[in-house]
Amino acid sequence: MTLVFLTELAVNGALVGLMYSLVALGIVLVYKSSSVFNFAQGALVMLAAYLVWAGSRVVGVVGGVLAAAAAMALLGLGIERFALRRMIGQPLAMALMLTLGLEILLRGLGPAAWGADTKRFDLGLAEAPLFLGDVLVNRTYLAGGAAALVLLVLFALFFRTRVGITLRAVSDDQVASWSIGIRVERAVGLSWALAALAATVGGTFWAAVQGVDWSVSLLLVKATAVAILGGLDSLAGAVIAGFAVGVTESVVSGYLDQVVGGGTKEIVTLALILLTILLRPHGLMGREIIERI
Amino acid sequence: MFYRQCGVRHVSYAADWQLWPLRFERLQVGALLLAAASAPLWLPGLYLGSYALPVIIFATATLGLDLIMGRAGQIHVGYAAIMAVGAYTAVHAVRAGAPFEVGLLAAGLASALVGLVAGATALRVKGLYLAIGTLALQFLVEWVIVHVPAIGGGAQTTLQAPAVRVLGVAPVTTLGARYWVALAWCVLVTAYMLNVGRTGFGRALVALRERDYAAAVLGVHVFRYKLLAFSVSSFVGGITGAVLAFTYYRAVTPEQFGLDVSIQLLAMGLIGGLGRVLGSFLGAAFVFVVPIVISTALPGALEAAGLGLPVAVLSHLQIIVYGALIVGFLLLEPLGLAKIYDNVRSYFLVWPFGYARRTMG
């Protein structure tokens, strides 16, 4: 019983963690290209979830996801062009506050456009319970975790293309990229579009898990923990950290919740953020360029 | 026009150091102070209690946050948590029988201690990582309050703030008395913030903000001043939190000091203008009042124009206006309301001789 219970917690936790990293990928992509922490990612995921839900009622699930992806990519480009670009040369606090302001604005606009009640969204997966050996696995989690891995592979391949290499150059050194003729602004805009695409995939699966309402944007906290633990500029780090956060959170809360009466899930996330910042600020796989004084 | 200024004719250092060298501005400050102090006598209770009082307290909190953000250049996303520590400390101290003043002092010290711990993180990381570290502090404090019954009184509990007396004689029960307590603290903090820029401490903080390596080369002990900045700012925040609990809410719950309050304080500082005392007041008033006014006035105005809004939009209008204000200000006037005031002031400073050089900055 205990071993099966433990494996079940670990497996489902790992899959949920991979779904967290779907959200965290957007933070990492933007940070890589422009060193701005994307506090708006939670609201982007929420908006994507609304769009997927609304689209799927008109043109079916696949069509809805594609339409939402196109709309979100445009929104990402727009955010860079009309908002973040003006923050170049301003203090870091300004850019952070801008993404926070966007988060607040989108958090209001989503429910305002579609109503505040929770929308049920069905991905069309089979309902029957899925057992791997003795372990009960949630099908939505499984699909979401798989999507996170597929997305990671796609991004890894993308970073080997010509455009992807310019993105890597920009994340290395903006001024140097500029001097050899890379359009830095365009690269940053592209990274926002990619972040919005990651948000669409994340929004689709999280909508299937918990329904669509404003609380989807609260995933920002988990995604922050994942992005920090993985290292803010490492895509692979985000996935590994998602795995780690998911397993730790699920196993710890699975055992401790019975003892202390609930609520340990959040504290695990926070403890992970604090410990990472204190012990290893660049995370598991991030580049160690954090200035210390 | 108003300023009637012609040349700089200081003959002593004292005259050069004046906070307000222009006579008109001294009169302005005096009139404002008088109006603020006498507000309970002429302002209707509704406006006093639900606008003037909270704006004054939030302006004080923004001033405290500005010490760390505007002066020392460190990002703090968990200032409401610092205020929560102060509020809970003061309420528990007073409930245990301590006098009000002792409770406030304990609030400041407890918050300064927590701020010191947060500041210790600042010694290891800076910039973005500091922002996230303080964000974690915010969640951690909230979690502790909700989950430790000895502090928060158990989940979903409201702790009543007991009735208190100032100096053991004057009871702080009427709205006017509560307002005066808040105002007194606000004036004290304002006086401190106006003057801190002229002290060695304030100058060291500004040096830190501009470039910490350069500051270290100039002999500013970076560790020491960062910790000092965090603890002084937290001391102010703690007492402000206690004042907020005792004079405005008259009770404490964790929701009063959530992440949204931290973000609201950041928005007040940024919209007002970082590093400016005037900015904290303008920002606090603007962020607190404008979303309320717009979301109550706009539906009526649209209704009159024949454009009814759907219910879903109406119920989220306040948060949309709030978010749009933050984004709009950052994009259109990054230096905030204080800069707008400066532009108007420097226009009138030499009016009607617009071509003249503006000497009084």
Burial of residue A151 (number of CB atoms within 10 Å: 0-12, 13-18, 19+): buried
Residue from the list B126, B146, B263 with its beta carbon closest to the beta carbon of A291: B126
The separation between CA A90 and the C-alpha centre of its own chain, rounded to angstroms, equals 26
The DSSP bridge partners found for residue B252 are B159
Identify the pLDDT of residue B126. 67
Per-residue pLDDT of A143-190, as tens digits, reads 888 998 999 899 989 989 999 899 888 888 888 988 999 998 899 999
Identify the pLDDT of residue A292. 43
Nearest CA in chain A to B214: A293
Matching residue, tokens 């007041």: B281
SS3 A290: coil
- Chain-chain contact of B131 with A266 (C-beta, under 8 angstroms): no
- Chain-chain contact of A94 with B212 (C-beta, under 8 angstroms): no
Would you tell me the crossing angle of helices B128-147 and A264-279 to the nearest 10 degrees?
150
Identify the pLDDT of residue A44. 95
Per-residue pLDDT of A116-126, as tens digits, reads 888 888 777 77
Q: Which two tokens stand for residue A124?
A: 């069309």
Per-residue b or e along B225-245, where b marks 16 or more CB atoms closer than 10 Å to that residue's CB: bbbbbbbbbbbbbbbbbbbbb
Per-residue b or e along A200-209, where b marks 16 or more CB atoms closer than 10 Å to that residue's CB: bbbbbbbbbe
Matching residue, tokens 């300064």: B112
> Distance (Å, rounded) from C-alpha A137 to C-alpha A81?
43
Task: Annotate B227-272 with three-state secondary structure.
Answer: HHHHHHHHHHHHHHHHHHHHHHHCEECHHHHCHHHHHHHHHHHHHH
Q: Which two tokens stand for residue B342?
A: 């400066």
The 10 Å Cβ neighbour count of residue B355 is: 5
Better pLDDT: A8 or A24: A24
> Distance (Å, rounded) from C-alpha B295 to C-alpha B356?
43
Looking at the predicted complex, does its ipTM rise above 0.90? no
Residue B92 near residue B110, CB atoms below 8 Å: no
Identify the pLDDT of residue B308. 67
CA distance A101 to chain B (A): 5
A203-217, A238-252, B268-282, B299-313: lowest mean pLDDT where? B299-313
Q: Identify the CA nearest to B8 among candidates B342, B357, B359.
A: B359
Residue B140 near residue B92, CB atoms below 8 Å: no
- Pick from A111-115, A202-206, A279-283, B255-259 the range whose average pLDDT is largest: A202-206
| For range A267-284, the mean pLDDT | 80
Identify the pLDDT of residue B361. 45
- Chain-chain contact of B327 with A221 (C-beta, under 8 angstroms): no
Residue B144 near residue B86, CB atoms below 8 Å: no
The DSSP bridge partners found for residue A136 are A131
CA distance A132 to chain B (A): 36
> Distance (Å, rounded) from C-alpha B203 to C-alpha A259?
52
> Distance (Å, rounded) from C-alpha A262 to C-alpha A242?
22
- Chain-chain contact of A224 with B135 (C-beta, under 8 angstroms): yes
Query: Mind listing the pLDDT tens digit of every residue in chain B (361 residues)?
Result: 567 666 677 788 888 888 888 888 889 999 999 999 999 999 898 889 889 999 999 999 999 999 999 898 888 888 999 999 999 999 999 988 888 999 999 999 999 999 988 777 766 666 777 887 888 888 888 888 887 877 777 656 778 878 777 777 777 888 899 999 999 999 999 999 999 988 999 999 999 888 888 999 999 998 889 889 999 999 999 999 999 999 999 888 888 898 889 999 999 998 998 889 999 999 999 999 888 888 778 777 777 777 767 777 777 888 888 899 889 998 988 888 999 998 888 888 777 777 766 554 4
- Chain-chain contact of A104 with B143 (C-beta, under 8 angstroms): no
CA distance A112 to chain B (A): 4
Q: Is A104 on the interface with B (CB under 8 A)?
A: yes
* Contacts of A274-280 spanning 24+ positions with Cβ under 8 A: A274/B133, A274/B136, A274/B140, A276/A228, A276/A229, A277/A228, A277/B121, A277/B124, A277/B125, A277/B129, A277/B132, A277/B133, A277/B136, A278/B121, A278/B124
Peptide bond between residue B352 and the one before it cis (omega within 30 degrees of 0): yes
CA distance A136 to chain B (A): 31
> Distance (Å, rounded) from C-alpha B71 to C-alpha B280?
13
| Amino acid present at B185 | W
- Chain-chain contact of B312 with A87 (C-beta, under 8 angstroms): no
Say whether pLDDT at A13 is over 70. yes
Identify the pLDDT of residue B356. 67
Alpha helices, DSSP H only, in A159-234? Answer: 162-172, 174-179, 184-210, 219-230
How is residue B91 annotated by DSSP? Answer: H
Q: Which two tokens stand for residue B60?
A: 């004080």
How wide is the angle at C-alpha B65 spanned by C-alphas B236 and B133, nearest 5°?
Answer: 110
Residue B322 with chain A: CB contacts under 8 Å: 104, 108
Identify the pLDDT of residue A293. 38
- Chain-chain contact of A263 with B316 (C-beta, under 8 angstroms): no
SS3 A119: strand
CB contacts under 8 A, A 23-62 vs B, are 35, 37
| Stated pTM of the model | 0.87
Residue from the list A92, A105, A107 with its beta carbon closest to the beta carbon of B327: A105
Identify the pLDDT of residue A128. 72
Residue B146 with chain A: CB contacts under 8 Å: 263
SS3 A132: strand
Nearest CA in chain B to A99: B327
- Chain-chain contact of B146 with A224 (C-beta, under 8 angstroms): no
CA distance A117 to chain B (A): 10
Residue A113 with chain B: CB contacts under 8 Å: 312-313
Say which residues have a Cβ less than 8 Å from residue B185's Cβ, sequence separation at least 6.
B60, B239, B240, B243
